[in-house]
Structure 1
Amino acid sequence: MISKDDEDDPFPVDDFLFDETFSQDTVYSLCGQELNIRQVFGANLGVAAPVWEAALQLCNYFEKQSVELRGKRIIELGSGTGVVGILAARMGAIVTLTDLPLALPQLQVNVSANMPPSGWPTALPTVLPLSWGEDQMNFPSDWDLVLCADIIYLPETYPLLVDTLAHLCKGGGLVYLSSKMRREHGTQIFYEEHLPSRFNVELVHRDEKQNINIFRASLKKDQ
């Protein structure tokens, strides 16, 4: 069992927890949908294995704010288990889920496990590899929404992520980012310096108890 402290920290002190691969299936009730999400814990997946609280908060935000997802073209970065993107697809969005290659098998399992009995309302979610700053040019720039849940924790990736977001949003797409605000990883610096260098950034939700912020961003006109 993973402790509460480990849930808050993407780099658990108890490394032995990831020595052997094991899986855990959990049902989440979100936006009137029930999702059965498998989390495959193991040395290779690391932070891609769990469902992070920031992802659940983003799903709940969409419901509370009545964000229209049906018919929207959505790409999710660092999808991990895919809970956010799969929910969007269940609600009628046309979704592409992306992550590093090692995370794709878990993503594909969860997509297959969550097809509604009557089939996907709009389209089967697509699962593709995407390494920030390297192969974003393989993707179009006309998305309606770009979704990011708890992916801001490695400072060396921040410029690469901003470059990737800028490419994906050239057509006017909006970015929603939900983040645990981890001081030790400079998460606040990403939102105060890196992202505002090319995007207009707005804080749209703050959970003091969980220390989670949700931001909405749009590419600046001169980019």
Structure 2
Amino acid sequence: MAAPTEARRGETGTGAEEDEAAEDDGSEDEDEAGPCPLVAVFPRDPELFSDTFRELRRFRFCGRVLRIAQHHGPRLGMAAAVWDGALALCRFFEEQHMNFRGRSVIELGAGTGIVGILAATLGGDVTLTDLPLALEQLRDNAERNAAAVAAAGGRVVVEALPWGRELGCVPRGYDVVLGADVVYEPRCFPALLDTLLQLCGPPAIAFLSCGMRPQLGTETFFQQLLPMHFCVQLLRHHQDTNVGLYRLTRRSDGCSHTQAPTAALTDCTACRQRQDALLADGTP
């Protein structure tokens, strides 16, 4: 995956990131005789002896403050971090003044859940999905932002969703499908494509934001595999992070794209109208 972007501490501009203030510093009153000598030698924080550690961050997008915990360690691996693709998608929501009120939204491979949680603070009814091992982190972050989501009239639920299988308890018929840095393992491309096909009916619109890794076939996925089933348009390419942001819609009679991959990244009036309808007022 692309390396995560570190924003300047204390920055107040778009997408600023700050250290999250500790909710409990763990301090205790000392005895009059002073601390025990062993306490002075050994730290009190048990996480220092663990193979995982939690990093708390605050992000500002769309006038919302998101509190995100990253549970670093071998168990979650890359799923623990907020990556450039996620930040690019959040900035796109801010730039486009996205309104998800009245829309059902699902995020694939959500990791920290920052993208889907932002959509929920913009009024969306959001389902965050990932492998079972990432669900604890997702639930943690959903709880940290529950007040902001409720204030916006949104909702967040967390579900396990391995790609390439039947959706199980995850329903079909979502209005919006989101994915940030989910295209990085060629062996997973068929499973990811199958899941996208199950979730994206003709009315749906998907936004995928990923670091472009030619050595891992990312461009092949967007320029050859997806266009066989979807209208694919490159909306943004961030040169500094080499992140591409794409819009996907299922092919339909009103779509101007052809089956040829060379035409896949051109604009389409029907696809653009779907995005415009999403931006309009958030009502189906």
Query: In which range does the TM-score fall when normalised by the shorter chain?
Result: 0.7 to 0.9
Equivalent runs, 1:164-179 vs 2, <5 Å: 164-179=195-210
The amino acid across from 2:192 in the alignment is: L
Aligned match for 1:140, one of 168, 171, 174: 171
| Structure 2 residue 69 is the aligned partner of structure 1 residue 38 | yes
Runs of 4+ deviating beyond 4 Å: none
Cα 1:81/1:66, change in 2 over 3 Å: same
TM-score (norm 1): 0.88
The amino acid across from 1:54 in the alignment is: G
Q: Which residue of 2 aligns with 1:104?
A: 135
Cα 1:43/1:116, change in 2 over 3 Å: same
Q: Shift of the alpha carbon at 1:117?
A: 5.8
| Structure 2 residue 109 is the aligned partner of structure 1 residue 78 | yes
SS at match of 2:115: helix
Gaps of at least 5 residues in structure 2 are: 6-49, 254-284
Q: Distance in 1 between matches of 2:99 and 2:154?
A: 16
TM-score (norm 2): 0.69
Q: Deviations over 1:90-118 (max 9, x none)?
A: 11100000000000000000000112268
Q: Shift of the alpha carbon at 1:220?
A: 1.5
Aligned match for 2:161, one of 130, 149, 169: 130
Q: Distance in 1 between matches of 2:158 and 2:216?
A: 28
Q: Distance in 2 between matches of 1:198 and 1:117?
A: 37
CA contact (8 A) 2:117 2:149 kept: no
Gaps of at least 5 residues in structure 1 are: 9-18
**How many equivalent residue pairs?**
208
Q: Shift of the alpha carbon at 1:184?
A: 2.1
Which is strand-richer, 1 or 2?
1
Q: Which residue of 2 aligns with 1:191?
A: 222
Q: Shift of the alpha carbon at 1:7?
A: 3.8
| Structure 2 residue 143 is the aligned partner of structure 1 residue 149 | no
Aligned match for 2:191, one of 160, 166, 172: 160
Range with greater deviation from structure 2 (132-141 or 101-110):
132-141
The amino acid across from 1:100 in the alignment is: L
Q: Distance in 1 between matches of 2:51 and 2:149?
A: 37
The amino acid across from 2:80 in the alignment is: A
